[in-house]
Structure 1
Amino acid sequence: MDAMSSTRALLYAQKAPTEYNTPLPQWLADCIDIANDPSQDNQDAKLIAEAFQFAYNLHEGQYRRSGEPYIAHPVAVAGLIRDLGGGSAMIAAGFLHDIVEDTDITCEEIQEKFGEGVRHLVEGVTKLSKFKFSSKTERQAENFRRMFLAMAKDIRVVVVKLADRLHNMRTLEHLKPEKQKQIALETREIFAPLANRLGIGRFKWELEDLSFKYLEPEAFQEIRELVADRRADREARIENVIQILHQRFDQAGIEIEELKGRPKHLYGIYQKMQQQQKEFEEIYDLAGVRVILKTREDCYRALAVIHDAFKPIPGRFKDYIGLPKPNRYQSLHTTVIGTYGKPIEMQIRTMEMHHIAEYGIAAHWLYKETGGSSDFKPTAEDEKFTWLRQLLEWQNDLKDAQEYMESIRDNLFEDDVFVFTPQGDVVALSRGATPVDFAYHIHTEVGHHMKGARVNGRWTVLDAPLHNGDIVEIITSKNCHPSLDWLNFVVTPSARNRIRQWYKRSHREENIARGRSMLEKVIGKSGSDSLMKSERMQRVAERCNHQSVDDLLAAIGYGEITTNSVASKLREESLQEEQVEKADGIGNLEEETVHSLPTTTSRQSTSHSYSKSPIAGVEGLMYHRAGCCCPLPGEPIVGVVTRTKGVTIHRQDCSNVENIDSDRVIPVDWNPINGNGNGRTPTYTVDLEVEVIDRVGVFRDILARLSDQHINVSNASVKTGKGKPALISLSIEVKDHQQMQYSFNQIKQMSDVLKLRRVNQCSDL
């Protein structure tokens, strides 16, 4: 500290080969002054000053490609973190983030000198720096992003890494063109989306523009020139609009925090031109105005003033205050026609909303350096501040349950593990996955012929769980085959199903014999040989989605289909043959073995096309419609065999089906229904929830639309609250999915309807 106190705010970098030097940033100079002032006991300042001095000494004599001393980079990173509002531990980590990689200092030494909190951050950034993105596929990019967040248990690690990447991008011109493109691609695919997820808008925009500059230099230069050419005209239009708004807001008594033009970043313009196939002149929001106000209520009042002063463009209004984005972004967006007849986009928000839009997750740090000590000790509450915790906090902000579930589905990766192939591609597997799961993820044949596995260059047992960052190599042999013991430890459904499929194929003869024996117990052995070779049996096999009778028997043998289902179909085929023979005047049929089939009280039909049963494939079995997804005729369905309640009919896209063993799933379909014997078509109850603007007559209007379609409403209730939308619960009776969807569309078209969703509650068939 004495050496630095003597330099005070002079030079922090001695002359390099390029004669480069720079003054100490003022904020850092002030921090050093405070740390060296005996009258002040500021532990945060001391931690920052000591971290800088430590990094300065270790990086002395090291230079960047630009020729500047290497210490300039850690200082710039620490400054970016400080600008985001990071605490002293984060700023210290900014100074120290490269020393483990570039010097002989260990993480243990960092902890001894600066505390566990700083060591934790530096170690996390060092770990993330080891991974290099090489694949250009969208899936690989998403896996990398998810891996970064999953491995960074402290979200601050990712923020430090983003600051590191941003400064590297600012100085990218000193590298070779090939290296520039490689780093720019990684930045655009990995780091800019990460900044967006964390809501750090100021990082996202600059990272995207800098990547754009090196990846599409010609397009970048063209758009930059177009923007510059029209800047004077654009600024004049914006200034005119701002003057009008100042006057209107004063008249309305709305107090303004800030009102100014908003520049549009270049990559955003380029993206819109590409996605919407538009020319530069057709992009709406090249010119923008940002209005920052005191309160949420002022935002909506200001919106009314703006729409009164300028003509709004239909379909260009979005309310992200009432329904924030998943990254907590809040603002009102509207596009209006300005005084020169040109579109201008308006953003209206409070100062707090603006702070979140610019700094994102950094605006809500829950970590606090306690007691003035540089040794960071997070509380139990702080330790849980991960991306998952942030998502759970956002649940209260997201009014639309569907949007929240999509956000969870996209971002909930706590149960994933991310490992590498020897070629460097990232593979996402379920937590607890083993080398066998990895092998089957790569390819079915790799799993089928797996001999062993090496993890991080060392042989490992096949049931060893994989960990984040492991490099997995699978050793195969043509003579190796799956073992049924693998089913005891694999965790991914795909691996489990492929192992079972291999077993089914490899033991085909054994399964055929078992299936034949099981079927004979139901229909009797007498005459079974001729029956198995008959056209009738072939038709039954085809109805069960199998090409041959042997395939059907094998399916019975390994439990894919039940003997009762096959026997029921045989009975139907026999009755249909009788009908045909009687119609041809043949008379009495000769005795056939199938007559010995046991009688049941299940629904039967003379033709598949005119079955009274709604479901084909469950004849002779007890079945019911699943309450979790309430399938309707016209929706793809599957059957799931239960232990006590027969077969449950689910929609194919039902999330509950994904976790069910394939052995319990049977193919089913909807039968075409021509009435139920008395001329009436069966109906199915569907429960709806409709959120509407609370006005007189809205309930009546909804019922009228349903009545026009001859849809019966069996139950209805309305919940209202002062100043809140009304919630209408309806139970309607529909014939099929098509009628339900048409009803949905009719209701959604009403201007008073805010949200409409289907509630998954239904009665048995």
Structure 2
Amino acid sequence: MNTTTLISETKPVKKLHIPNWLNNCLTGDQNDPHNSLICRAFNFAYSLHEGQYRKSGEPYIAHPVAVAELLRDLGGDSEMIAAGFLHDVVEDTEITCEEIETLFGANVRQLVEAVTKLSKYNFSSKKERQAENFRRMFVAMAQDIRVIVVKLADRLHNMRTLEFLPPEKQRLIAEETKEIFAPLANRLGIWHFKWELEDLSFKYLNPIAYNNIKNLVSERRKDREGRIENVIAIVNHRLNSLGINPIEVKGRPKHLYGIYHKMELQHKEFDQIYDMAGVRIIVNTNDECYRALAVVHDAFRPIPRRFKDYIGLPKPNLYQSLHTTVVNSNGRPLEIQIRTLEMHNIAEYGIAAHWKYKEAGNSNNTHLSSDEEKFTWLRQLLDWQKDLKDAQEYVDNLKENLFDDDVYAFTPKGEVIPLTRGATVVDFAYRIHSEVGNRMKGARINSKWCPLDQSIQNGDIVEIITSNNSHPSLDWLNYAVTPSAKNRIRQWYKRSHRDENIARGRELLEKELGKNGLESLLKSDTMQKVAQKCNFVKVDDLLASLGYGEITCMQVISRLREENKQQQPEVKTQPLGETPLATTVTKTYKEINGNKYPICGIEGLMYHIAGCCRPLPGENIIGVVTNIRGISIHHLDCPNLSTIPGERLIPVSWNSGDSKSRNSTYPVDIVIEALDRVGILRDILGRLTDQNINVSNAGVKTDFGKPALISLTIDVQNATQFRYVINQIKNMSDILNIRRVSEVSSINK
């Protein structure tokens, strides 16, 4: 590294600490297209980011330089490196994607645009923003796999400098990195990105455990290295005596999160984890891999059921290697990996070892090539995400499909189907294709008929029996383990009741916007744009999803208002009645004169809302004079009123014109009966969050074979909002019944 003066045509001379490779590009032959693109991209980013600083205090351009260097170390081409320099200019400056294309070409524009966050768009929740970012990134990734590599390099450097952010933001970013980006690096086979992302996430999510393991590993390093060197000497001697000349035999330390994960998974203490380091043997050919395995098993005692052949059965990310665990001369277990140099390059660099962008002058060959076609999980992910509109559901599905597949089953024709551990026949059927799952009427495992909830084991041969007259059952939701299979089952039910859902969605919009003009609005270009913003192709798709409860009326109206504001900036001053939306907006912002008391009839008196019935604005109420706490406000149907003398009752009513009361919230206790499944409480809370409803208390009671009872205290503004929220929860597929605890009203599905 050195300090070099960088000259920009539009900015004053500045000094920046840069790596030698970049300095060589800047001072090298500018007629070389490779050098020229990198230099132009750097100088352009340098001039745009000048005057911007990171939280660490260093110039902002240091971050793009670090990202570009990570991409160069992976063997990235000049377009990738240029995108590394430019990946933040659209988000952080006034430069547009069109200008990027004009200056640097369509491929660089595509890379930059795909990794740019959607910070300039409005979303109803952080979860929706996150889901849309990932959705957009994966669509672009299918067109150019380099997109995700640029994004991973960006995330890795941000994680390396995370210490300068506030603790809460550190945890949020680290959690997302652990759940999405580290598994994604693993899926792409970029191992050294994966382990560093995991370790850095571990550092911020569990700093005490991180530091403890770090110190313990450091204390025992010398003893561990001595044992490894002894094993290496034995292996080298045995291999050479058989005429096998290994390219490399070296120790391989296990990263800190890997040790912690094994401790948690196996419920062991640090002293009980023996394979904190291993040995990697790199040879020349596949044949030598198996011969070396025989040598290892002859020199050391192999541990039963701890051998894995990833050469004959590669992982979905193309990883190949032989793994075996043996007991060394000290009586300690030791993992040994055996692979060829080509396999090692794929293990370290993953997808980078399979890029085909430099083929015979075809600079546009940036789609998945024949080698990358083996990444079937990406194709499946893109297929599954088409029907996932709910933000929480999309992110959950993404997490599930990024993690390692632990079980490998076979079709009768010998095709390998990777599955998550615990997956059932239902998951297997939907993993093959959604139509196979939808038409399944039975299954055989190893030629024997089996129930649909049968878990699949490694090496099972699974045959799915289909029929055109078969269709999914709601019971399958209890059989399926993977969110993707459960989503496909729900999607079938939505499609099979599509007309009913469209009618219901239309009815919900009619209640919110009014009947007049609704038909013309639904047929308008405005509504078509709203549907597209909600990730639907047609307005009918939007209505069906609304009717099913996949999206909420508030989300649709929010998008409608955004679109209306773009088309009619002065909508608030327009006369009432031009469109249903104009009416809604005007009423919302209309200034209403009223007194400052939320309840009429007790002005100036002390009062409180009765805890027995907790009435809401919009419901019929009555006041009761108490001895100590002033006036107690009850629901008119409160059963406790029957014991109150008539002289203590005061007629009261809600003041609907009070602006203060519209900003107040009132607690309501509800009990929800739902199918007992993993994630049901999370899904309900997510639906409430979409409505900006606060939950002040929550509890769950379960009993085997019975529905789950979920008790919630929610804060709402009035009875109308409460009814709307109840309807949104009722529309969820697994909800059986909802009731208000006060027993004033009961809402049955």
- Per the normalisation by structure 1, the TM-score is 0.51
Instruction: Verify: 1:31 aligned to 2:20, yes or no.
Output: no
Q: 1:450 aligns with which of 469, 490, 508?
A: 508
Residues 569-614 of structure 1: per-residue CA shift (max 9 Å, x gap): xxxxxxxxxxxxxxxxxxxxxxxxxxxxxxxxxxxxxxxxxxxxxx
Instruction: Verify: 1:150 aligned to 2:139, yes or no.
Output: yes
Which residue is equivalent to 2:226? 236
Is the contact made by 1:87 and 1:369 (CA closer than 8 Å) also made in structure 2?
no
- Who wins on radius of gyration, i.e. which is larger? 1
Give 3-state SS (helix, strand or coil) of 1:23's partner: strand
How many Å apart are 1:33 and its aligned residue?
A: 2.6
Which residue is equivalent to 2:70? 80
What pairs up with 1:107-126 in 2 under 5 angstroms?
Answer: 107-126=97-116
Which residue is equivalent to 1:303? 293
Q: 2:373 aligns with which of 389, 408, 423?
A: 389
What pairs up with 1:373-452 in 2 under 5 angstroms?
Answer: 377-379=363-365, 382-385=366-369, 389-391=373-375, 400-401=410-411, 404-406=416-418, 447=505, 449-451=507-509
User: 1: CA distance between counterparts of 2:507 and 2:312?
Assistant: 55
Give 3-state SS (helix, strand or coil) of 2:336's partner: strand
Instruction: Verify: 1:189 aligned to 2:189, yes or no.
Output: no
How many Å apart are 1:161 and its aligned residue?
A: 0.6
* Equivalent AA in structure 2 for residue 389 of structure 1: E
How many Å apart are 1:148 and its aligned residue?
A: 3.6
Is the contact made by 1:199 and 1:328 (CA closer than 8 Å) also made in structure 2?
yes
How many Å apart are 1:86 and its aligned residue?
A: 1.0
How many Å apart are 1:289 and its aligned residue?
A: 0.7
Instruction: Verify: 1:357 aligned to 2:343, yes or no.
Output: no
Give structure 2 stretches of 5+ with no counterpart: 9-13, 380-407, 420-427, 435-483, 514-519, 551-749
User: 1: CA distance between counterparts of 2:284 and 2:371?
Assistant: 29
Residues 443-500 of structure 1: per-residue CA shift (max 9 Å, x gap): 999858531699xxx9765997899994489xxxxxxxxxxx969995999799xxxx
Give 3-state SS (helix, strand or coil) of 1:450's partner: helix
User: 2: CA distance between counterparts of 1:362 and 1:134?
Assistant: 37
Instruction: Verify: 1:222 aligned to 2:216, yes or no.
Output: no
Is the contact made by 1:356 and 1:363 (CA closer than 8 Å) also made in structure 2?
yes
* Equivalent AA in structure 1 for residue 73 of structure 2: D
How many Å apart are 1:349 and its aligned residue?
A: 0.6
How many Å apart are 1:283 and its aligned residue?
A: 2.4
Residues 117-151 of structure 1: per-residue CA shift (max 9 Å, x gap): 111111111156779999999x9999986664234
Distance of aligned partners of 1:147 and 1:101 in 2 relative to their CA distance in 1, 3 Å threshold: closer
Which residue is equivalent to 2:605? none
Distance of aligned partners of 1:325 and 1:492 in 2 relative to their CA distance in 1, 3 Å threshold: farther
Residues 531-589 of structure 1: per-residue CA shift (max 9 Å, x gap): xxxxxxxxxxxxxxxxxxxxxxxxxxxxxxxxxxxxxxxxxxxxxxxxxxxxxxxxxxx
- Per the normalisation by structure 2, the TM-score is 0.52
Give 3-state SS (helix, strand or coil) of 1:289's partner: strand
User: 2: CA distance between counterparts of 1:78 and 1:462?
Assistant: 46
* Equivalent AA in structure 1 for residue 151 of structure 2: K
User: 1: CA distance between counterparts of 2:531 and 2:190?
Assistant: 26
Which residue is equivalent to 1:48? 38
Distance of aligned partners of 1:299 and 1:465 in 2 relative to their CA distance in 1, 3 Å threshold: farther
Give 3-state SS (helix, strand or coil) of 1:298's partner: helix
Is the contact made by 1:155 and 1:386 (CA closer than 8 Å) also made in structure 2?
no
Give structure 1 stretches of 5+ with no counterpart: 1-6, 15-19, 414-425, 474-484, 497-765
Instruction: Verify: 1:66 aligned to 2:56, yes or no.
Output: yes
Q: 2:303 aligns with which of 308, 313, 334?
A: 313
How many Å apart are 1:108 and its aligned residue?
A: 1.2
Is the contact made by 2:145 and 2:367 (CA closer than 8 Å) also made in structure 1?
no
User: 1: CA distance between counterparts of 2:124 and 2:196?
Assistant: 22
Which residue is equivalent to 1:600? none
Is the contact made by 2:87 and 2:116 (CA closer than 8 Å) also made in structure 1?
yes
User: 1: CA distance between counterparts of 2:534 and 2:79?
Assistant: 32
The aligned length equals 442
User: 1: CA distance between counterparts of 2:121 and 2:372?
Assistant: 23
Distance of aligned partners of 1:197 and 1:466 in 2 relative to their CA distance in 1, 3 Å threshold: farther
Q: 1:256 aligns with which of 232, 241, 246?
A: 246
Give 3-state SS (helix, strand or coil) of 2:57's partner: coil
How many Å apart are 1:197 and its aligned residue?
A: 1.3
Instruction: Verify: 1:342 aligned to 2:349, yes or no.
Output: no
* Equivalent AA in structure 2 for residue 378 of structure 1: N
Distance of aligned partners of 1:324 and 1:447 in 2 relative to their CA distance in 1, 3 Å threshold: same
* Equivalent AA in structure 2 for residue 304 of structure 1: A
Percent same amino acid among aligned pairs? 54
Residues 223-256 of structure 1: per-residue CA shift (max 9 Å, x gap): 1111111111111100111111111111011111
Which residue is equivalent to 1:366? 356
Which residue is equivalent to 1:291? 281
User: 2: CA distance between counterparts of 1:450 and 1:334?
Assistant: 60
* Equivalent AA in structure 2 for residue 253 of structure 1: G
Q: 2:195 aligns with which of 200, 205, 220?
A: 205
Is the contact made by 1:9 and 1:26 (CA closer than 8 Å) also made in structure 2?
no
* Equivalent AA in structure 2 for residue 150 of structure 1: V
Distance of aligned partners of 1:182 and 1:240 in 2 relative to their CA distance in 1, 3 Å threshold: same
What pairs up with 1:270-289 in 2 under 5 angstroms?
Answer: 270-289=260-279
Instruction: Verify: 1:89 aligned to 2:65, yes or no.
Output: no
* Equivalent AA in structure 2 for residue 167 of structure 1: H
How many Å apart are 1:411 and its aligned residue?
A: 11
User: 2: CA distance between counterparts of 1:144 and 1:204?
Assistant: 21
User: 2: CA distance between counterparts of 1:170 and 1:83?
Assistant: 17
